Amino acid sequence: MQAQLAILRRMPNQKEPTTIFGSRLLAARRTRSMTQTQLAEAIGSTQKAISYYEAAGGNPSADVITKISKALGTTADDLLGLSSPVDGPGPEGIDERRVWRRFRQLMILPEKDRRAVLRMLDSLTKAQQAAAK
């Protein structure tokens, strides 16, 4: 699992998404713990094309968007920013949906910021566990 997470971390030269589609594609792919190569293989494309869609904001054809949405278990509307994404296990309560929405926002942050947030979460969790003992 650690090796897979290491693969999903941003590469030093990876560019930030410049479009809603790129951001949502990146977040959906990471949420499902898929690499660009794995997604490319699932849709019959190349890693380079997936990278382009995520970073440069290239607009794939409707056929490719359909394949990507099926491979990621989401909808084209979600990827295109036409609706709120429904990622993950489908939280039921309002608080759970709010937390899940925040998690998706975390996934599009730069790696350095994401690590800072996760360190803070780890610290708070450890403090809570210590207080409960």
Q: What pLDDT score does 13 carry?
A: 59
- Residue 37, domain CATH: 1.10.260.40
Q: What is the pLDDT of residues 10-45, one digit of tens each?
A: 444 566 777 888 888 888 888 888 899 999 999 999
The pTM of the full predicted model, rounded to 2 decimals, is: 0.56
Q: pLDDT at position 43, please?
A: 95
Q: Is the pLDDT of residue 8 over 70?
A: no
Structural domains of the chain, count: 1
Q: What is the DSSP string of 44-65?
A: T--HHHHHHHHHT-----HHHH
pLDDT in tens, 77-102: 888 888 765 444 444 556 666 777 77
Mean pLDDT in residue range 50-67: 87
Q: How many CB atoms lie within 10 A of CB 110?
A: 11
DSSP SS3 for 30? helix
For 110, the domain range is 2-132
The predicted structure's pLDDT at residue 128: 85
